[in-house]
Amino acid sequence: MTLNKTYVTKLDDIKRDWFVIDAAGQNLGRLASKVATVLRGKHKPIFTPGLDTGDFVIVVNAEKVTVTGKKLTEKFYYRYSGYPGGMTAISLQDQLAKHPDRVIEHAVWGMLPHNRLGRALLKKLKVYAGPQHPHQAQKPAELK
């Protein structure tokens, strides 16, 4: 009788790759779920829920991401300063015009764990509004 042994991922076993994904013409939510999966490492056979086994992701053309329905005018992002009357709201359309990188980061953050692991994962996400990025030296692979 043979027993199967459970594989435990060690920090030395984790190899981080770099991926670049073009957001032009892609839906925001579908793009964010794809990015969150790669950041988390769920696409790898060594995935462990409590470890950071994911890869780095570079998102280019963030300003060309699409949404369906009336989300451009009816979806709002809210901030609160902590003072009375200090809540500000910005629509998705205005946010895409001013800071398109924050739109994708916010969507991906909503799909990651909200703890210190999730914060570490979010640091591996690099989002750029245009088609250029400064990570050519890492030789990122194209993520479909």
pLDDT score recorded for residue 2: 83
Helices (H), the chain: 28-40, 71-74, 92-98, 100-109, 116-122
User: 129 pLDDT exceeds 90?
Assistant: yes
Residue 3 has φ and ψ, to the nearest 5°, of -105, 135
Mean pLDDT calculated for residue range 76-101 = 97
Q: Please indicate, yes or no, if residue 55 is contained in any of the structural domains.
A: yes
Asked, for residue 10, whether it belongs to a domain, the answer is: no
Say what angle helices 100-109 and 28-40 make with each other, to 10 degrees.
60
Q: Decide if 7 is inside a domain.
A: no
Residue 107 lies in a domain: yes
Structural domain includes residue 31: yes
Is 114 within the bounds of a domain?
yes
Q: Name the amino acid, one letter, at 51.
A: L
Contacts of 63 (CB under 8 A, 6+ apart): 96, 100, 129, 130
Q: Which of 67, 79, 137 is nearest to 104 (CA)?
A: 67
Q: For residue range 20-54, list pLDDT tens digits in order.
A: 999 999 999 999 999 999 999 999 999 999 999 99
Q: Which domain holds residue 55?
A: 17-66+99-131+138-142
pLDDT tier for residue 98 given thresholds of 50, 70 and 90? very high
List, for residues 53-78, the tens digit of each pLDDT value.
999 999 999 999 999 999 999 999 99
Q: Which of 68, 57, 69, 61 is nearest to 33 (CA)?
A: 57
Instruction: Indicate whether 11 belongs to any domain.
Output: no
Within a domain: 25: yes
Round to whole Å and give the CA distance between 112 and 28.
15
CA distances from 6 to 16, 23, 45 (A): 23, 38, 13
Instruction: Read off the pLDDT of residues 106-122 as tens digits, 9 standing for 90 and up.
Output: 999 999 999 999 999 99
The total number of structural domains that make up the chain:
1
42: domain CATH number is 3.90.1180.10
